[in-house]
A = this chain, B = another copy of it.
Amino acid sequence: MKNLGVNLLSIMLVLMLVFSCKEQVSDTSVEVATTEAESGHPSLVLTKKGVRDIRANLGNIPIFDKSLAETKAEVDAEIEVGILVPVPKDFSGGYTHQRHKQNFYMMQKAGVLYQILDDEKYATYVKDMLMAYAKLYPTLPVHPQTRSYARGKLFWQCLNDANWLVYSAQAYDCVYDWLSPEDRDVLENNLFIPFAKFISEGNPQFFNRVHNHSTWGNVAVGMIALVMDNDALLEDALNGLKTDNLKVGMKDNDGGFIKVEGQKLGFYGNLDEPFSPDGYYTEGPYYQRYAMYPFLIFAEALQNVKPELNIFEYKNGVLIKAVDALINLSDADGDFFPLNDGQKGMSYYTSAVVTAVDIAYHFGGKNPELLSIAEKQDRVVLDDTGLSIALGIKEGLGKSFDKKSIELSDGQNGDEGAVGILRSEDLELVFKYAAQGLSHGHYDKLSYSLYEDGDEVLQDYGLARYVNIEQKGGGNYLKENKTWAKQSIAHNTLVQNETSHFMGKYEIGSIHHSNKYVFDVSNKNLQVASAKESNAYPGTEMQRTVVFINDESYAKPYLLDFMKVVSNTSNKYDFPFYYLGQLMQTNFEYNKLNTPTVFGKDNGYQHLYKEAEGVSFGDNAKLTWLSNGKFYSITSATAKGDKMILAKIGANDPDYNLRNEPAFILRKTNTKNTVFASVVESHGTYTARSEFAENAYSHVKHVEVVHDVAEYTAVKVETDNNKTKLFVISNLDNKAGSDHKVTIEGEVVSWTGAFTLKELK
């Protein structure tokens, strides 16, 4: 890496020298450039005008210059390696998969370098590579790996073939004018058109669908259509195939629906349905990040080639809103919250989001907050949008991106629940009361995860997969994703009778969603979110309310969390908290088993070990743990006979696919109606360097549900500063203007609005 650094520096210096000379010449050409679209190529992502502007500024736009130098170093190294186009064989993670993946990235970059640096060696590289593919492709059967519902030819699934085409189309656009018409004929007839037909007409179950896979498929076909000026393919890309012979109710190998009656398809369909008006993508941020690249790169291409479509205005500018939503769906380190199937560690530093930020800035009104994200990303896309960013940064226009508490509605019309994010000091709570999230959804209604300063405090497990690590099931979804990660018990939410929400059935889950009830962050010292779920367990109504309460006595707010459960049957309820860290102390006795037992038979329970159990005498149960140098406590109201279970993930895991992390589970048996009420605190710190423990003990003396009827629920929290606070919520009327009056413990409490917090002494 040290050597690379030196090389980069040399390259940058050379570039700066070269372009500091060119600059003076090309200044004029910038001025005479028209703002109208010009004919000829490149036209999709890079434009002719963009290339001129970039050349004029090179050497004088640090973040762009650096990105260019890095790209040049990378492509130069690959050119040394030569053209390698192996016969496809492997799953993701394997050699042929990685090679073909590397190839399309490199072609796209080489195309850009040819345009910007005007060096034919890059055009030659693209041509040689594409010609090799034009020779190979017609000989290929479908990929030998059979796992996918839509097998590709270069890759085991059409999805990756579509990735290939999205990037290769850009490369082709960059060298189009440089190639001879004969070469173009060969490429289009032997490679691009059959390729586009194969992933569209040849795989309607992949192409004609609302799903992130299909978005890639639509965009792949759309991009190559724009380069080739092929209206028929463009129409398929935008609106889907007219006929597909697919049966309604078909499912893919993840269990997701393929065909839904009356669904709008193609790029427009995929823009309409999965995005809420707030820009939340129903599969969750991990897939939103993945989908943003094709959505935005194609939108950019459409804007450049077909500006009359006004794609960035579509659905009230949802594409630009989506970028803002995506950034808000990341923690303090920029890591995306792993809602639904999400691999931890994916962050806004990934290249797809670099593109998204650059495009959103350039086409979305030059929001200065995006410049600060681009500065953190420390690289830009080598096109017109990256140039805009680089100039904005250079001119010092950036403003810090202020992530606030925010509710992002789910559903095409924004009426299928939401994800609510409460932020207070360094704490972030991600509360999920959304729709199913298509085939990547988890059965975790009303679950939440809690973060502090970018570290997980109460975790969402995420997916059970090691993406692109071949040793782990070819890098694909592991069976534990279904048997563990998607199940309700794997989440911080209520589980009834050891079954998952909607019986863990996608057919049921996908027709329901939770409902927003309250999201009020107008007072930063009292932020409240509340939501309801009526369908997860028929006959059982759940309402969860989470409240960040700031008490000036304490350095940080604490979280009041209560789940009201009303059922028409007696049930067993489990209520887990997936804390991360080392258990310090509990205030209850527990019996640690000599060896763990498997916690249950099915629905995820078979993956939990029970390590210890305590029985409540009806007091509060408190558990304190240490994680990342911070002390945390959960204090929960319990009823006599409730069980406190200490568990660990990892049973029935023959291949060590799961992470062995702990859980604290509250269990109530033979219960109809109840309230699970807890306070979660970040109350202290430990520094190994000084060996000082500060505020190692919880500040919460007592938590109690003091009132619970259909109309109102009230929870009292007593803290060690001799304060007692009473939080009351109206369960049936959430209107801001409604007046309420209720007698609690002999005192009349009255207020206006859905909730109130009273200081009792």
Chain A residues at the B interface, C-beta cutoff of 8 Å: 93, 98, 343-347, 349-351, 466-472, 475, 582-585, 592, 594-598, 609, 624, 626, 646, 648, 651-654, 656, 659-660, 686, 688-693, 696-697
Bound form: Cα–Cα A686–B466 in Å: 10
Bound form: Cα–Cα A471–B625 in Å: 10
Bound form: Cα–Cα A347–B646 in Å: 33
Bound form: Cα–Cα A653–B653 in Å: 23
Q: How far is the CB of A659 from chain B (nearest CB, A)?
A: 7
Bound form: Cα–Cα A475–B626 in Å: 14
Bound form: Cα–Cα A351–B689 in Å: 8
Bound form: Cα–Cα A367–B693 in Å: 35
Q: How far is the CB of A471 from chain B (nearest CB, A)?
A: 4
Question: Is B595 within 8 A of A597, CB to CB?
Answer: yes
Bound form: Cα–Cα A345–B585 in Å: 21
User: In this complex, which of A93, A472, A597, A691 has the most chain B Cβ atoms within 10 angstroms of its Cβ?
Assistant: A691
Q: How far is the CB of A414 from chain B (nearest CB, A)?
A: 30
Q: What are the residues of chain B within 8 A of A693 when measuring CB–CB? A: 93, 468-470, 475
Question: Is A343 within 8 A of B469, CB to CB?
Answer: no
Question: Is B345 within 8 A of A584, CB to CB?
Answer: no
A-B contact pairs, 5 of them (CB 8 A): A346-B691, A469-B584, A471-B624, A594-B598, A648-B660
Of all chain B residues, the one with the shortest Cβ separation from A654 is B592
Q: What are the residues of chain B within 8 A of A691 when measuring CB–CB? A: 343, 346, 467-468
Q: What copy number does this chain have within its complex?
A: 2
Q: A595: which of B346, B609, B686, B697 is its contact (CB, 8 Å)? A: B609
Q: Which 5 A-B pairs have the closest CB atoms?
A: A345-B688, A583-B656, A471-B585, A592-B654, A467-B691
Q: What are the residues of chain B within 8 A of A594 when measuring CB–CB? A: 598, 651-652
Question: Is B592 within 8 A of A689, CB to CB?
Answer: no
Q: How far is the CB of A376 from chain B (nearest CB, A)?
A: 12
Q: What are the residues of chain B within 8 A of A592 when measuring CB–CB? A: 653-654, 656
Bound form: Cα–Cα A754–B693 in Å: 50
Q: What are the residues of chain B within 8 A of A471 when measuring CB–CB? A: 584-585, 624, 696-697
Q: A688: which of B346, B654, B692 is its contact (CB, 8 Å)? A: B346
- Known A-B contacts A594-B598, A596-B595, A690-B350; A626 and B469 likewise in contact (beta carbons under 8 Å): yes
Q: How far is the CB of A84 from chain B (nearest CB, A)?
A: 16
Q: What are the residues of chain B within 8 A of A697 when measuring CB–CB? A: 471
Q: How far is the CB of A580 from chain B (nearest CB, A)?
A: 12
Bound form: Cα–Cα A346–B597 in Å: 37
Question: Is B696 within 8 A of A344, CB to CB?
Answer: no
Bound form: Cα–Cα A350–B466 in Å: 38
Q: What are the residues of chain B within 8 A of A646 when measuring CB–CB? A: 656
Question: Is A472 within 8 A of B584, CB to CB?
Answer: yes
Give the dominant DSSP class at A's interface: loop
Q: How far is the CB of A416 from chain B (nearest CB, A)?
A: 29
Bound form: Cα–Cα A595–B466 in Å: 25
Of all chain B residues, the one with the shortest Cβ separation from A629 is B345
Bound form: Cα–Cα A656–B350 in Å: 38
- Known A-B contacts A582-B656, A597-B595, A656-B582; A470 and B651 likewise in contact (beta carbons under 8 Å): no
Q: What are the residues of chain B within 8 A of A93 when measuring CB–CB? A: 693, 696
Q: What are the residues of chain B within 8 A of A347 when measuring CB–CB? A: 688-689
Bound form: Cα–Cα A724–B686 in Å: 49
Bound form: Cα–Cα A595–B594 in Å: 11
User: In this complex, which of A585, A653, A688, A690 has the most chain B Cβ atoms within 10 angstroms of its Cβ?
Assistant: A688
Q: How far is the CB of A424 from chain B (nearest CB, A)?
A: 15
Q: How far is the CB of A642 from chain B (nearest CB, A)?
A: 20
Q: What are the residues of chain B within 8 A of A469 when measuring CB–CB? A: 584, 626, 686, 693, 696
Bound form: Cα–Cα A688–B582 in Å: 25
Bound form: Cα–Cα A609–B609 in Å: 13
Bound form: Cα–Cα A656–B647 in Å: 12
Q: How far is the CB of A239 from chain B (nearest CB, A)?
A: 31
Bound form: Cα–Cα A654–B613 in Å: 11
Q: How far is the CB of A341 from chain B (nearest CB, A)?
A: 13
Question: Is B689 within 8 A of A346, CB to CB?
Answer: yes
Bound form: Cα–Cα A351–B691 in Å: 11
Bound form: Cα–Cα A712–B133 in Å: 56
Q: What are the residues of chain B within 8 A of A624 when measuring CB–CB? A: 471
Q: How far is the CB of A585 from chain B (nearest CB, A)?
A: 4
Of all chain B residues, the one with the shortest Cβ separation from A471 is B585
Q: How far is the CB of A574 from chain B (nearest CB, A)?
A: 20
Q: How far is the CB of A75 from chain B (nearest CB, A)?
A: 16
Of all chain B residues, the one with the shortest Cβ separation from A1 is B555
Bound form: Cα–Cα A475–B693 in Å: 10
Q: What are the residues of chain B within 8 A of A656 when measuring CB–CB? A: 582-583, 592, 646
Q: What are the residues of chain B within 8 A of A466 when measuring CB–CB? A: 584, 626, 686
Q: What are the residues of chain B within 8 A of A584 when measuring CB–CB? A: 466, 469, 471-472
Bound form: Cα–Cα A696–B688 in Å: 33
Of all chain B residues, the one with the shortest Cβ separation from A348 is B689
Q: What are the residues of chain B within 8 A of A648 when measuring CB–CB? A: 660
Q: How far is the CB of A654 from chain B (nearest CB, A)?
A: 5
Bound form: Cα–Cα A71–B466 in Å: 48
User: In this complex, which of A344, A467, A584 has the most chain B Cβ atoms within 10 angstroms of its Cβ?
Assistant: A584
Since A347-B689, A466-B626, A472-B584 are in contact, a sample of 4 more A-B pairs with Cβ atoms closer than 8 Å, ordered by chain A residue number, is A343-B691, A346-B691, A595-B598, A648-B660
Of all chain B residues, the one with the shortest Cβ separation from A93 is B693
Q: How far is the CB of A453 from chain B (nearest CB, A)?
A: 11
Question: Is B595 within 8 A of A651, CB to CB?
Answer: yes
Q: How far is the CB of A289 from chain B (nearest CB, A)?
A: 10
Q: How far is the CB of A231 from chain B (nearest CB, A)?
A: 35
Question: Is B689 within 8 A of A350, CB to CB?
Answer: yes
Bound form: Cα–Cα A251–B656 in Å: 45
Bound form: Cα–Cα A469–B696 in Å: 7
Bound form: Cα–Cα A90–B347 in Å: 46
Bound form: Cα–Cα A688–B686 in Å: 29
Bound form: Cα–Cα A609–B660 in Å: 13
Q: How far is the CB of A141 from chain B (nearest CB, A)?
A: 27
Bound form: Cα–Cα A343–B350 in Å: 36
Q: What are the residues of chain B within 8 A of A653 when measuring CB–CB? A: 592
User: In this complex, which of A93, A583, A693 has the most chain B Cβ atoms within 10 angstroms of its Cβ?
Assistant: A693
Bound form: Cα–Cα A626–B350 in Å: 21
Q: How far is the CB of A478 from chain B (nearest CB, A)?
A: 12
Of all chain B residues, the one with the shortest Cβ separation from A343 is B688
Q: How far is the CB of A608 from chain B (nearest CB, A)?
A: 12
Bound form: Cα–Cα A344–B626 in Å: 14
Of all chain B residues, the one with the shortest Cβ separation from A653 is B592
